[in-house]
Amino acid sequence: MEFIFTSFFLFVLVLVLFINKRRLWELSSTAVAKRTLLGTMGWPFIGETLDFVACSYTDRPQSFIDKRRLLYGKVFKSHLFGSSTIISTDAEVSKIVLQSDANSFVPSYPKSLTELMGESSILRINGGLHRRIHGLIGSFLKSPYLKAQVTCDMRKLVLKAMDTWKEDCPVYIQDETKHVAFQVLVKALIGLDPGEDMEFLKVHFQNFIAGLMSLPVKLPGTQLHRSLQAKKKMVKLVLNIIADKRARNAAISQGSKDVADVLLKDKNEKLTDELISDNIIDLMIPGEDSVPLLITLAIKYLSDCPKALHQLKEENMELKRRKMDLGGVTRWDDYMSSLPFTQNVITETLRLGNIIMGVIRKAMKDVEIKGYLIPKGWCVLTHFRSVHLDDNHHESPHQFNPWRWQNKDMSNCSNTYFTPFGGGLRLCPGLDLARLEASIFLHHFVTEFRWVAEDDTIINFPTVRMKNRMPIWVKRESYSGV
């Protein structure tokens, strides 16, 4: 009897060991099937941040990424800005990350930026409230009404600025475009015209954005503290404008004339005046640099490519002559549909210039993409520049070649291998307006002036900008503008 029990026990033990061994073998096989994330985490605490930033200030900003991609593959691990980070230079992986919902990935920013934006910023919130606000703003920014208003404002401000340009001293294109674009942006957001309040906002906004990449210390005297104080002053002004709108009931009795009107009309109780005011300021962050730098870089690339400049000028001169013959004013759809090569120049500038280097998302759970396991709590940097400059996707990627976009439908300005405005639920709602404003500026610039550009270099961190603000020497053409 004892022998039987012993034999039965041994049989069960062998069976359990066999099952466990098989399960371990299956798990081991699965682990082998998954791609191992290679890379290095760098120094304690600082990781590889210093190397990343240092390369960004050189004339080879892509060298940090290219070196590691060669060693570790298109998706690799690192440690940047205080977080364990997976860097994706794989277009398909990045697309999946961007299109994922808040259950998988949420936006992640440096701590100084999150302090300045606050918890209720559209750039940080997720879920239903984000979809609601993003949808409302996106629909309005694409509306024919706003495009017509922006066209009128942009043309007026551009011509006013150009009237002050002199032939005996340099014109700093980066400064000029920022001045014009900021006024157009604020008018679209809160309906504010040029004046004292506009200048007040402009001064304090510069103090505000100075702290976006500062040390996350809020003590008096620090940059972050100064930036927070500047934001409070701006929010107070915007709150006064919103209170005035409510008192006049303008957003309800009339059609929406600006983003503030759109948000005020919504009945969602979470859209308080304070939340609207905060978000109006935060919406200035992505809009403040994108349009001016798009125009500035386009002028730089055109200055270095006479063939492209000649074709762009001929196209815009033809539109100008046609409108003069018809006795009409150029409308917003003329700038978009009648200037196909101009649109190709803008598209190529976005690809080559990479005004937005990439975006960071944080994994809310373990996520597997194309065999890569992204651990919960890790960040993913979807690196747009790597895809835009990948010769597997774009022939001679470092060459400015607007003809590469001929006969290609770029109406949505986004595909797997071209994502200058991000993608997914957080695709920039102002992408159409950015193209429109750039088209208007370039149209009047190339039909009114000839110019010679001084040598200047592009700096890629913390944001893309020209080292010397893109100085040019202009000479007026002998005919008047439209």
Q: What is the mean pLDDT of residues 270-282?
A: 92
The confidence band for 269, taking pLDDT boundaries of 50, 70 and 90, is confident
pLDDT of residue 411: 53
Q: Answer whether 219's CB lies under 8 Å from 225's CB.
A: yes
Establish if 362 belongs to a structural domain.
yes
| pLDDT, tens only, 303-327 | 999 999 999 999 999 999 999 888 8
Q: What is the pLDDT of residue 241?
A: 96
Q: Are 452 and 432 in contact (CB under 8 A)?
A: no
169 pLDDT more than 90: yes
**Range 9-30 average pLDDT:** 37
Residues 6+ apart with CB under 8 A from 16: none
- Report yes or no on 29 lying in a domain: no
Give tens-digit pLDDT for 181-240: 999 999 999 999 999 999 999 999 999 999 988 888 999 999 999 999 999 999 999 999
Phi, psi of 403 (to 5 degrees): -70, -15
State the DSSP code for 36: P
Within a domain: residue 180? yes
pLDDT, average across residues 121-145: 92
Tell me: the pLDDT tens digits for 393-449?
999 999 999 999 998 876 555 578 999 999 888 999 999 999 999 999 999 999 999
Adjacent-strand bridge partners of 418:
415
At residue 267 the predicted structure's pLDDT band, cuts being 50, 70 and 90, is confident
In the predicted model, what is the mean pLDDT of the chain?
A: 89
Beta pairing partners, 360: 381
- Whole-number Å distance between alpha carbons of 418 and 149: 29
Question: In the prediction, which pLDDT does 30 show?
Answer: 38
Task: Note whether residue 240 is domain-resident.
Answer: yes
The answer to whether residue 31 is domain-embedded is no
Confidence of residue 479 (pLDDT cuts 50, 70, 90): low
210, burial (CB in 10 Å: exposed 0-12, middle 13-18, buried 19+): middle
- pLDDT value for 94: 97
- Residue 19 forms part of a structural domain: no
Mean pLDDT calculated for residue range 454-472: 94
CB 98 within 8 A of CB 112: no
The dihedrals phi and psi of 386, each to the nearest 5 degrees, come to -60, -40
The CATH number of the domain holding residue 252 is: 1.10.630.10
What is residue 219's predicted lDDT score, i.e. its pLDDT?
93
Q: Which two tokens stand for residue 150?
A: 């922006």
Q: Does residue 18 surpass a pLDDT of 80?
A: no
What residues does 466 pair with on adjacent strands? 458
**Weakest mean pLDDT among 71-80, 233-242, 278-287, 293-302:** 278-287
Q: Specify which of 127-141, 245-259, 468-482 reaches the highest per-range mean pLDDT.
A: 127-141
What mean pLDDT do residues 173-181 have? 97
User: Which pLDDT value is given to residue 28?
Assistant: 38
Residue 9 included in any domain: no
Strands 379-383 and 465-466: unpaired
Q: Is the pLDDT of residue 13 over 70?
A: no
Q: How confident is residue 478, by pLDDT bands cut at 50, 70 and 90? A: confident
More confident residue, 217 or 252: 217
pLDDT recorded at residue 21: 38
The answer to whether 382 and 359 have CB atoms below 8 angstroms apart is: yes
pLDDT the model gives residue 281? 93
Element (H, E) at 97: helix 91-99
Higher local confidence (pLDDT), 5 or 368: 368
* Separation of alpha carbons 210 and 226, rounded Å: 9
Q: How far is CA 287 from CA 19, 72, 324, 463, in A?
A: 60, 35, 33, 13
User: What integer pLDDT is reported at residue 5 of this predicted model?
Assistant: 36
Q: How many domains does the chain have?
A: 1
Q: Given pLDDT bands bounded at 50, 70 and 90, which one contains residue 328?
A: confident
Task: Report the distance separating Cα 65 and Cα 51, nearest Å.
Answer: 10
**Distances in Å between the alpha carbon of 260 and those of 27, 266, 281, 318?**
55, 10, 11, 38
CB count in 10 Å sphere of residue 378: 19
Q: Are 69 and 76 in contact (CB under 8 A)?
A: yes
3-state secondary structure of 405: helix
Q: How confident is the model at residue 252 (pLDDT cuts 50, 70, 90)?
A: low
SS3 331: coil
pLDDT band at 254 (very low <50, low <70, confident <90, very high): low
Determine, yes or no, domain membership for 168. yes
Q: Residue 346: which domain range? A: 37-476
CA terminus-to-terminus distance, the chain: 109
